[in-house]
Amino acid sequence: MSRPLIFAANWKMHHGPAAARDFAERFLPLAPPVDGRTLWFFVPDVTITAAAEAFAGRPDVGIGAQNVHWEGKGAYTGEISIPLAEEAGASAILIGHSERRHLFGETEEQTGRKLTATLAAGLTPLLCVGETMAEREGGRTESIVLRQLAGALDPIDADRLEPLVIAYEPVWAIGTGRNATPDDAVQVHRLIRMDLLRRGVRADVPVLYGGSVNSRNAVELLARREIDGLLVGGASLEPEGWAEIVRTPRSE
């Protein structure tokens, strides 16, 4: 069996319950389960239950929330807690997506709290890190990624980080049609891997790439053994296109 791969769809603010049911009906026959491949759908909160029901027959498919509050309950208008997301059908949580950080002012401290709470609840966190174009051009890619990792991981003991998943998503590549080259991505993946190693985190934490992935660049990205899967926004919204991406051959 080849190395495990994760294909994570981030639907952002698209696809309500009816659209999710329609998506599943069209997608499932095109994407039969493949050994060693796991699929995630990070859907709007109102869609979690419909998506969980629509994919219920597929143990290789998980449903996730795109954001949560770290408190279990309370007076936090407009937020959802991890227990609420889980009750709706989510088993994974996207944490620290760049749109949360840059459009909604989410801080590294908040990202850390969300990660801690997600792990404590036994759900799978998908932690996103990545630099802006100005940071890259200023030669600060490494320091930004390390700072984001520190903000999220420092509060947690290394042996409590199971089942962490990380995605490297350069902000300048998200939704811009401008993806990082496989070499750019691999360089940051190695940095992340080194940081995890230094923390004593187990060596097989999956590190995904995200940012303007499509069915063409997916082939060259997945040809690199440092890349354990893909986090995909725009190109995950159509069942036919997403089915093509999750079937991308892995050349070992």
Among 231, 242, 245, 246, binds ligand PGA (CB under 6 A): 231
The reply on whether position 122 binds ligand PGA by CB under 6 A is: no
Helix (H) / strand (E) containing 245 = helix 239-246
Residue with Cβ nearer ligand PGA (83 or 241): 241
Query: Residues 44-48: contacts with CB within 8 Å, 24+ apart?
Result: 44/11, 44/12, 44/13, 44/14, 44/15, 44/16, 45/80, 45/85, 45/88, 46/16, 46/17, 47/11, 47/15, 47/16, 47/17, 47/19, 47/20, 48/85, 48/88, 48/89, 48/90
155 or 175: CB nearest ligand PGA? 175
Q: Is the four-CA dihedral 85, 47, 38, 204 of positive or negative sign? A: negative
**Full DSSP string of 60-106:** TEEEEES--BSSSSSS-TT--BHHHHHHHT--EEEES-HHHHHHS--
User: What is the per-residue binding string for ligand PGA in 129-168, x denoting contact by CB under 6 A?
Assistant: ----------------------------------------
Structure tokens at 213: 């992935």
Residues 16-75 binding ligand PGA (CB under 6 A) are none
Return the residue nearest ligand PGA (CB atom). Answer: 233
**Total chain residues near ligand PGA (CB under 6 A):** 13
The correct pick among 86, 169, 195, 228 for binding ligand PGA (CB under 6 A) is 169
CA dist., res. 124 & res. 118, Å (int): 7
Q: Does 174 bind ligand PGA (CB under 6 A)?
A: yes
- Host H or E run for residue 187: helix 182-199
Q: Which is nearer to ligand PGA, 68 or 174 (CB)?
A: 174
- 10 touching ligand PGA, by CB under 6 A: yes
Residues labelled as active-site residues: 97, 169
Tell me which DSSP letter residue 6 carries: E
CB closer to ligand PGA, 50 vs 232: 232
Closest contact distance (angstroms) between CB of 160 and ligand PGA is 26
Site pattern 190..219 for ligand PGA (x: CB under 6 A): --------------------xxxx------
CA 248 from centroid of its chain's CA atoms: 18
From 62, 112, 234, 239, residue interacting with ligand PGA (rule: CB under 6 A): 234
Whether the CB-CB separation of 147 and 108 falls below 8 Å is answered with yes
Comparing CB distances to ligand PGA, the nearer of 33 and 175 is: 175
Give the nearest distance from C-beta 198 to ligand PGA in angstroms. Answer: 26
Residues that bind ligand PGA (CB under 6 A): 10, 169, 174-175, 210-213, 231-235
